A and B are shown apart, each in its own frame.
Chain A
């Protein structure tokens, strides 16, 4: 007797449809799985057998062969357990074949017959085209995102069989994973003083400019960075689905109420490895840079990260994706994020004002070289911070809340979209003259800086893009001298970190 049940497996952040074929025939009793299973899938033999017996079903005393089609592609993970078990039951006649038609099953089985949650429900369900999907009860929220009304849940195998046979109603999804993430993150109004730092995150959000914060410990770098997602516009539908897909593949909780709207913030620790950042492992789990897709990647203590880890950032910053290859598979994961780096100005951390630090010149130079020139050149904004003035910390002057700043940011983003670019940081060089025209005074200032050697040709493009954003925030079409001067100042801390790359 032959049965065919639809399921899916996961590679990177992409699901792949897998058809589970179960054949039960006369012969010496045995249980084989073919079709390039990995270790977790091979182990599912024992889980499935125990789960069936615990749920009160008979295990066929005949030869059972399971084929995972397409058989040329490797399959991993325990998510195929449920489909294999259902396939055996259909082949044995416990479940009518028509009950599983046009239905996909994804889930891991426990030895007691319970159905356990698996990661990557969102991308896996997106890859199957069945009308109905059955997932573990704990994955109900994720399944509803993709399959809507077609989503069914199962908490136990025997319950599932009764529901499939029509002798009991489908269980109602309960105990779905609740996302503890609050809709509203920390507010910019909490940052007291720090006008330059506040302005820098506003410009970064408005123009999509990568931001480097340089300051001693306690100068508010982390505070500013964690408020940046709250200034960005809410995720579009496609972005939100991408975020849900990536986070689901990584096993992170997905919000109950539908697609996420707040851009994610990822802040990997400075002890992170290249694989944790880029993604990897046998089944290409997405890394931090993919988890930060459509949001903010905050790298604190950037100077402490090894060069090999920082190198990972170069491809995503250039192309918005990261390509990873392993023996079993290779994948291209989305990784388009706003990068916020934070670092101390020197090893002792006090060297914003040079006389305050006792690092040797050699130590300072070495510290500045930790970040390669090409990587530093990706930062349109580099701002030095100092510890806030006590008067600002204790003062009760109301600071501007995130919502007000976010409204200005949204207006600038809309203007950029009207110009046909994603954001101002993406304005191509060929369109700078047209999209960021300079006033006479602004052009004179730029020319003086070019002549004095303080500004390179590459630096000029960067300054014009940032000045475009500053002028947009000011509500002006023509880029004035004040906008260019501010753009120059919003990059001034770059000079503390060694010479710039000559284009």
Chain B
């Protein structure tokens, strides 16, 4: 399942064919010192990577006058990085090189060294060949509705030929990629906050591998580097810089997704948000974005595309309205008692004026008709069943 046409250097490098030359080994070693992205950028600005590495080793680099990085700069590090990248099939790219996304290279906070893993080539190699990319992000603790929306959003965008950019975190990020990973979709882009070979729980590692094999993984963290908290926040700017739009599906009032939104707003990248119930904490952040006028309200992939590409029409996503003609009085009463908020059986029964058993039987029939859905005993009225 390789990506779209137009394979490029990144893909070739990702297959681990060519061993790294000295410049790229030294660049990888500089990235592996554990310094912040801005420090790495200063280390490499205006000098050749080999020369920069020599200066850091000697403790006389102008960007590190105190020699703080000297201790981490072991003599064998460049060779180790070369071996490690070859082993994990990781390409090391510097801004301006073929395969390094031009939009990202043009960013003032561009990663000075980019590690690319994966088979697909969704990241355009030339300035003229910018394939569409949209970031879908959100909270790690979403509501069940949020997960459904994110999955449908990922699937809809991928089916429309848009690469879904996301951070591979649990929750909304994972659901968006799960949706995008359906066969025939545009290749996904995973922007990692940690090294591409960082240990993960099995379910997350499987998803990371699926994204790598269907699309591409980007990270500015060198393979083998231990994860730090700050890495996850700073990678959000890469997602914003790479994408033509950022969609927040759900975010709590103080969520990491708001980092991405801030980075997008600074870059002039349009932000979309999915409105949620005003009583749902998982939607507090997204609703605040909408009220503040920062984001544009979207319901699904079609709304996103219409917002980003005016006049866009998404094929095959016509809303299906079930016929409400042949419904009996009890079903109407139960549907009337169901709201968007999950409700327990006794609340629904009380609202519909039915006994518990009668209400349960009507609800089971509505669920089979796709007019209601139940999760752990909590009922919501829904027009569609969750895509599986």
Interface residues of A (CB under 8 A from B): 194-196, 199, 345, 352-362, 383-386, 445, 448, 470, 474, 481-486, 488-489, 492-496
Of all chain A residues, the one with the shortest Cβ separation from B362 is: A485
Given A356-B280, A485-B364, A489-B345, 12 other A-B contacts at CB below 8 A? A194-B346, A196-B356, A352-B376, A353-B342, A354-B143, A355-B276, A355-B281, A361-B171, A383-B377, A384-B376, A482-B361, A486-B356
- The reply to whether A357 and B141 form a contact with Cβ atoms under 8 Å apart is yes
> Hey, which chain A residues are within 8 Å of B280, CB to CB?
355-356
How long is the Cα–Cα vector from A496 to B355 in the complex, in angstroms?
25
> Hey, which chain B residues are within 8 Å of A355, CB to CB?
142-146, 250, 276-277, 280-283
> Hey, which chain A residues are within 8 Å of B377, CB to CB?
383-384, 489, 492-493, 495-496
- The reply to whether B141 and A482 form a contact with Cβ atoms under 8 Å apart is no
Q: Check if B375 is an interface residue, CB within 8 A of chain A.
A: yes
Instruction: Give, as a whole number of angstroms, the nearest-CB distance from A445 to chain B.
Output: 6
Q: Check if B183 is an interface residue, CB within 8 A of chain A.
A: no
Of all chain B residues, the one with the shortest Cβ separation from A484 is: B361
Which residue of the partner chain, among A199, A352, A353, A362, contacts B356 with CB atoms under 8 Å?
A: A199
- The reply to whether A486 and B357 form a contact with Cβ atoms under 8 Å apart is yes
A-B contact pairs, 30 of them (CB 8 A): A194-B346, A196-B356, A199-B346, A345-B376, A353-B378, A354-B143, A354-B282, A354-B375, A355-B146, A355-B277, A355-B282, A356-B281, A356-B282, A358-B141, A359-B141, A362-B201, A384-B344, A384-B376, A384-B377, A482-B361, A484-B361, A485-B364, A486-B361, A488-B360, A489-B345, A492-B345, A492-B377, A493-B376, A496-B376, A496-B377
- The reply to whether B357 and A482 form a contact with Cβ atoms under 8 Å apart is yes
Q: Check if B15 is an interface residue, CB within 8 A of chain A.
A: no
How long is the Cα–Cα vector from A484 to B364 in the complex, in angstroms?
10
Q: Mark B349-388, 1 if CB is under 8 A from A, else 0.
A: 1100001111011011000100000111110000000000
How long is the Cα–Cα vector from A353 to B377 in the complex, in angstroms?
10
Instruction: Give, as a whole number of angstroms, the nearest-CB distance from A293 to chain B.
Output: 31
How long is the Cα–Cα vector from A328 to B319 in the complex, in angstroms?
74
Instruction: Give, as a whole number of angstroms, the nearest-CB distance from A467 to chain B.
Output: 10
> Hey, which chain B residues are within 8 Å of A357, CB to CB?
141
Which residue of the partner chain, among A195, A383, A474, A488, contacts B350 with CB atoms under 8 Å?
A: A195
Of all chain A residues, the one with the shortest Cβ separation from B360 is: A485
- The reply to whether A495 and B376 form a contact with Cβ atoms under 8 Å apart is yes
How long is the Cα–Cα vector from A394 to B48 in the complex, in angstroms?
76
> Hey, which chain A residues are within 8 Å of B345, CB to CB?
196, 489, 492
Best-buried of A345, A383, A492, A495 by chain B (most CB within 10 Å): A492
- The reply to whether B357 and A361 form a contact with Cβ atoms under 8 Å apart is no
- The reply to whether B344 and A482 form a contact with Cβ atoms under 8 Å apart is no
> Hey, which chain B residues are within 8 Å of A356, CB to CB?
280-282
Q: Mark B115-159, 1 if CB is under 8 A from A, else 0.
A: 000000000000000000000000011111110000000000000
Q: Which 8 pairs from chain A and chain B are nearest by CB?
A: A355-B143, A492-B377, A482-B357, A485-B360, A355-B282, A195-B346, A496-B376, A485-B361
- The reply to whether B281 and A360 form a contact with Cβ atoms under 8 Å apart is no
Of all chain B residues, the one with the shortest Cβ separation from A473 is: B357
**Given the interface contacts A482-B361, A489-B360, does A386 sit within 8 Å of B344 by beta carbon?**
yes
> Hey, which chain B residues are within 8 Å of A360, CB to CB?
140-141, 170
Which residue of the partner chain, among B276, B283, B376, contacts A492 with CB atoms under 8 Å?
A: B376
- The reply to whether A353 and B360 form a contact with Cβ atoms under 8 Å apart is no
Which residue of the partner chain, among A196, A359, A361, A488, contacts B346 with CB atoms under 8 Å?
A: A196
**Given the interface contacts A361-B170, A361-B171, A362-B201, does A495 sit within 8 Å of B375 by beta carbon?**
yes
User: How many chain-B residues does the 8 Å CB contact rule pick out?
Assistant: 39
- The reply to whether B360 and A486 form a contact with Cβ atoms under 8 Å apart is yes
> Hey, which chain B residues are within 8 Å of A383, CB to CB?
377
How long is the Cα–Cα vector from A395 to B359 in the complex, in angstroms?
23
How long is the Cα–Cα vector from A354 to B145 in the complex, in angstroms?
9
Q: Check if B252 is an interface residue, CB within 8 A of chain A.
A: yes
- The reply to whether A195 and B349 form a contact with Cβ atoms under 8 Å apart is yes
**Given the interface contacts A383-B377, A482-B358, A483-B357, does A354 sit within 8 Å of B142 by beta carbon?**
yes
**Given the interface contacts A195-B346, A492-B374, does A448 sit within 8 Å of B368 by beta carbon?**
yes
How long is the Cα–Cα vector from A493 to B375 in the complex, in angstroms?
8
> Hey, which chain A residues are within 8 Å of B170, CB to CB?
360-362
> Hey, which chain B residues are within 8 Å of A483, CB to CB?
357
> Hey, which chain A residues are within 8 Å of B97, CB to CB?
none
How long is the Cα–Cα vector from A445 to B367 in the complex, in angstroms?
11
- The reply to whether A354 and B144 form a contact with Cβ atoms under 8 Å apart is yes
Instruction: Give, as a whole number of angstroms, the nearest-CB distance from B172 to chain A.
Output: 11
- The reply to whether A353 and B368 form a contact with Cβ atoms under 8 Å apart is no
Of all chain B residues, the one with the shortest Cβ separation from A345 is: B376
Instruction: Give, as a whole number of angstroms, the nearest-CB distance from B377 to chain A.
Output: 3
- The reply to whether B282 and A485 form a contact with Cβ atoms under 8 Å apart is no
How long is the Cα–Cα vector from A286 to B376 in the complex, in angstroms?
37
Instruction: Give, as a whole number of angstroms, the nearest-CB distance from A188 to chain B.
Output: 15
How long is the Cα–Cα vector from A27 to B315 in the complex, in angstroms?
112
Q: Check if B109 is an interface residue, CB within 8 A of chain A.
A: no
Instruction: Give, as a whole number of angstroms, the nearest-CB distance from A385 to chain B.
Output: 8
Q: Which of B237-284 contact A (CB under 8 A)?
A: 250, 252, 276-277, 280-283
**Given the interface contacts A196-B346, A355-B145, does A488 sit within 8 Å of B356 by beta carbon?**
no
Q: Check if B80 is an interface residue, CB within 8 A of chain A.
A: no
Best-buried of A352, A485, A493 by chain B (most CB within 10 Å): A485
> Hey, which chain B residues are within 8 Å of A448, CB to CB?
368
Q: Check if B107 is an interface residue, CB within 8 A of chain A.
A: no
Instruction: Give, as a whole number of angstroms, the nearest-CB distance from B177 to chain A.
Output: 15
Q: Check if B341 is an interface residue, CB within 8 A of chain A.
A: yes
Instruction: Give, as a whole number of angstroms, the nearest-CB distance from B167 to chain A.
Output: 15
Q: Mark B164-175, 1 if CB is under 8 A from A, else 0.
A: 000000110000
How long is the Cα–Cα vector from A360 to B282 in the complex, in angstroms?
12
How long is the Cα–Cα vector from A481 to B346 in the complex, in angstroms?
18
> Hey, which chain A residues are within 8 Å of B360, CB to CB?
482, 485-486, 488-489
Of all chain B residues, the one with the shortest Cβ separation from A496 is: B376
How long is the Cα–Cα vector from A355 to B144 in the complex, in angstroms?
7
How long is the Cα–Cα vector from A337 to B341 in the complex, in angstroms?
38
**Given the interface contacts A362-B170, A445-B364, does A474 sit within 8 Å of B378 by beta carbon?**
no
Of all chain B residues, the one with the shortest Cβ separation from A445 is: B364
- The reply to whether A358 and B252 form a contact with Cβ atoms under 8 Å apart is yes
Instruction: Give, as a whole number of angstroms, the nearest-CB distance from B339 to chain A.
Output: 12
Instruction: Give, as a whole number of angstroms, the nearest-CB distance from B208 to chain A.
Output: 16
Which residue of the partner chain, among B344, B357, B364, B375, contacts A474 with CB atoms under 8 Å?
A: B357
- The reply to whether A361 and B356 form a contact with Cβ atoms under 8 Å apart is no
How long is the Cα–Cα vector from A72 to B141 in the complex, in angstroms?
65
